[in-house]
């Protein structure tokens, strides 16, 4: 394990058991990410971006290969270990927000920290800090169904930040937003990278984040075909 790398993936392969041969969604994917990078995962539909993010997020397990994140051997984790990993090591932002519909904005943001055993007072203070930073202070007691798409995604970003994760993973975070709100989400991720030193991995079809990201990995048919520095 190279200590300067926050992510080390080696020969990651994921075959979905479907039909006689299975679907090879990722094949021998090898890369490292250093702390503080903002990496875009690009590639056509079906190229393996969501599959790779699911492995990095501990939402799925590889068929073979090795994965270390923040020094943790993710492949070796038990189910219980993976739950802790999802709570503490990564923060995940989804295209369709995935907020709990019966909890308010503030409750949605606090929940992962409370589940991880943090005190209510400390959690509330941290949630209020991030929600204010995300300009959500006037929506604290709204339910997700009472939010715009942009507000829902800003809530999901606050939730992803509440446990101070080593890595923020975002799967098409602008995909359900109009262009103005999409640009705002990219600005937020850019600021988290630039001003707060966060490591970000974002899957996207579009060029919306090309100016704020530092690197892009292009996937094609489950393999990395291009690994390129971006100018920012």
Ligand X SMILES: Nc1ncnc2c1ncn2[C@@H]1O[C@H](COP(=O)(O)OP(=O)(O)OP(=O)(O)O)[C@@H](O)[C@H]1O
Our CB check for ligand X shows the closer of 48 and 91 to be 48
Stretch that binds ligand X, among 15-23, 73-81, 146-154, 193-201 (CB under 6 A): 15-23
Choice from 33, 42, 47, 151 touching ligand X (CB under 6 A): 47
Stretch that binds ligand X, among 4-12, 42-50, 80-88, 120-128 (CB under 6 A): 42-50
Q: Following CA atoms 62, 66, 70, 71 in sequence, which dihedral angle do they give, to the nearest 10 degrees?
A: 140
- Total count of residues recorded for the chain: 232
Our CB check for ligand X shows the closer of 58 and 112 to be 58
- Told to check if 21 binds ligand X by CB under 6 A, we report no
- Told to check if 231 binds ligand X by CB under 6 A, we report no
CB 218 within 8 A of CB 225: yes
d(CA 61, CA 38): 23
The two structure tokens encoding residue 45:
């539909």
Q: Which stretches does DSSP call E strand in 17-155?
A: 23-34, 38-42, 64-69, 72-73, 90-93
CA within 13 Å, CB half, 138: 2
- Told to check if 16 binds ligand X by CB under 6 A, we report yes
Our CB check for ligand X shows the closer of 50 and 181 to be 50
Per CB under 6 A, residues contacting ligand X are 16, 18, 23, 25, 43, 45-51, 205
């Amino acid at each position: 394990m190279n200590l300067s790398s926050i992510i080390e993936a080696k020969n990651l392969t994921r075959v979905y058991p479907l039909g006689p041969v299975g679907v090879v969604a990722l094949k021998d994917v090898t890369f490292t990410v250093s702390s503080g990078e903002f990496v875009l995962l690009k590639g056509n539909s079906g190229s393996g971006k969501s599959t790779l993010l699911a492995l990095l997020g501990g939402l799925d397990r590889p068929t073979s290969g090795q994965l270390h994140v923040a020094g943790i051997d993710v492949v070796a984790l038990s189910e219980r270990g993976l739950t802790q990993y999802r709570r503490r090591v990564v923060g995940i932002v989804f295209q369709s927000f995935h907020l709990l519909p019966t909890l308010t904005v503030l409750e949605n943001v606090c929940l992962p920290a409370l589940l991880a055993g943090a005190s209510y007072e400390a959690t509330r203070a941290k949630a209020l800090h991030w929600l204010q930073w995300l300009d959500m202070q006037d929506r604290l007691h709204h339910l997700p169904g009472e939010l715009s798409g942009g507000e829902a995604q800003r809530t999901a970003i606050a939730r992803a930040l509440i446990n101070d994760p080593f890595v923020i993973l975002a799967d098409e975070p602008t995909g359900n937003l109009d262009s103005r709100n999409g640009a705002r989400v990219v600005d937020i991720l850019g600021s988290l990278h630039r001003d707060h030193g966060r490591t970000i991995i974002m899957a996207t079809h579009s060029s919306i984040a090309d100016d704020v990201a530092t690197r892009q990995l292009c996937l094609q048919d489950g393999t990395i075909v291009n690994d390129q520095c971006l100018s920012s």
